[in-house]
Structure 1
Amino acid sequence: MIAILDYGIGNLKSIHNMFKKIGIDAVITSDIHEIQNADKYLLPGVGSFDYAIMRLKNASFFDVLEKEVLEVKKPVLGICLGMQLLTQRSEEGKEQGLGWIDAQTIRFDLDDKSLAIPHMGWNKVIPREEGKVLFKHLQESRFYFVHSYHVVCNDEANIAATTCYGDDFTCSVSKGNIYGVQFHPEKSHKFGMQLLKNFGEL
C-alpha cells in the first residue's frame, strides 16, 4: 500500500485517482499507524518551499516517516515541490530541506530570455541509467511541468533523468529508495500512469 502523505500541501486527489486507474492500492493519510504500515510513500507538494517544509517537519507523522525512509529503506517518491523538499535547501526560502538528496534547489536563470518562467507545459524527458527502474518503458516520453525552480545535484549519480528548457536540467533524482520527479505524473496521461505503475511495483 502506498501512503500519499497528507500534510496540507499538494494535489492529493488527482494523484490518488491516478493510482486507482492503474490498480495500485493507495490511501491519502496523515495517520501515523497507516504511514508506519505502508509499503511506500508519495510526497506531493505545491506552493512555497519554506511553508511546505515547515508543514512536513511539523506533521505528527514526520519522525515515523523519516525512520521508515532512512532506516527501514521504504521507497518514497517526491513530486514537483515534493522533489525539491528532498534537497538540502532552496533559493526560494531560508528553511533547511530534508537533505535526503545531496542537492540544492535554484531558480531558473536562462540565457534565452524569451523563455517564460515558470516553465510550463509538456517536455521530453531523457532517462539516465540511474533512472532505469522508475522510467522503465519510458525511453520516449513527455511529461507535464509547472515550476520556476529546479534541482542541482552535487553527485551526478543522483540524476535519474533530464529535460531541456533552454538548457538541460535535472528533472528526476534517485538515491537508493529515494526518488523524485519535477514534473506532474498525475497530469501526464499515459506516461504518468506508467511512471506511477513503475513506482508502485518497486
Structure 2
Amino acid sequence: MTLPLFEDAESGQPWREALCPGAVVLHNFATAAGATLLTTLHDIARQAPFRHMITPGGFRMSVAMTNCGSCGWLSDRTGYRYAATDPESGKPWPPLPEAYLKLARAAAASAGFPDFEPDACLINRYAPGARLSLHQDKDERDFTQPIVSVSLGLPAVFLFGGLRRNDKAARVLLTHGAVVVWGGPARLRYHGILSLKAGYHPLVGEQRINLTFRKAI
C-alpha cells in the first residue's frame, strides 16, 4: 500500500508535510481506503460500542471512544491504562482488521518507521464541539514505536506541541484521509485537537473519526 507523495495540496493526491524531525503529515494517504475503513468500523462498534469515558479527575470526555486490537486504552477514576477486555462487556476487544493493519504499517513505513507492528487502535468519534486537550501518549511500554493517527470525516485543527505542555503548539489542518505519524525524537510531543466545527462529510456525516494506532504492550 505504498503511495506516492506529492507536494500539492490542491491535487487531491497524497502529499507530505513535515512537522519536525520524526513527525510528518501524509495528507490524503488514507482517502482511497476511507469507505473500507468506515465499513469495518461499523462492525467494530457493534461489538464494542462508542462510549464517553471519565477522566481520573471525574470529567466526562467530549470525545466518544472505542478500541480494537489485543488491548484497548481506557480512562476512569482509577487512571489511564490499557486492558485486554472491554469493561462494559467483559469480552476481548474486537481484533485489529487486516485493512487497518495494512494502512498503519504503510503509513509508518512512508514516515521512516518500517518495523511498526501495532497491537492497539483507539478509535475516537468527534461530534461538533468535541475537543482533545494537549496530552502525551505515554501509557505505552515501548516509546521506540511511533504513533499513527488517521483522520476521517470533518476537518479538524491538530495541535502539535513540544516536549513540555507549555511549549507553543503548531496548528495543522487535517482533512479526510490525512495520516499523522510521529516517533523517534517526536514520540512524546504534546498534541491535541481544537473544538470541532460543525459541517457535513459525504462518507462520515456530521462527525470526525480518528483511528490512532499504537504498539501498547
TM-score when normalising by structure 2:
0.28
TM-score by length of 1: 0.29
Q: Using CA pairs under 8 Å that are at least 6 residues apart, name the structure with larger relative contact order, 1 or 2.
A: 2
Higher helix share: 1
